[in-house]
Amino acid sequence: MKRKKHHRFDDFGDDEFAGRGAHSRGVLAIGAAVVIGALASRSNKGPLASRSNNGPLEADCSGSKCFDELIYEDGVVTAVFAKDGSEYPYEMTRQEAKEWFEDESLGGYFNDVVR
């Protein structure tokens, strides 16, 4: 049985080498784009501190006059009110919590939907 010859880069002519280099760069660029896209989709975007489907969610309350903290975990949103620091639990689904946390007015959504 005859063994295949393994090519070294200097076995190729200039045209062949240039073509392989461009192809390799293209493959690397596509691979890098896929990895970067996957990492970006896992990064924290928008008002939610967690994008995991299983872990807790935390709303960005930095602009809220109503709430100091809103955290969803295990079917319950714990709301810490800005006025007096009191804490109250609100049972809801993860999807309901996401809708609340993504609303432009956390207090307005609370008054209109949650309460």
Domain positions in the chain? 9-42, 57-114
Which has the higher per-residue pLDDT, 103 or 29? 103
3-state secondary structure of 96: helix
Q: What pLDDT does residue 53 have?
A: 67
The H or E element containing residue 14 is helix 14-42
Q: What pLDDT does residue 55 have?
A: 86
Each residue's pLDDT tens digit, 28-81: 556 655 555 555 544 444 555 545 567 899 999 999 999 999 999 999 999 999
pTM over 0.85: no
3-state secondary structure of 70: strand
Count of Cβ atoms closer than 10 Å to residue 80 Cβ: 15
Q: What pLDDT does residue 5 have?
A: 58
Do 49 and 55 meet the contact criterion of CB atoms below 8 Å apart? no
List the strands of the sheet with 87-91, edge to edge. 57-58, 67-73, 76-81, 87-91
Task: Tell me what the mean pLDDT of segment 101-110 comes to.
Answer: 96
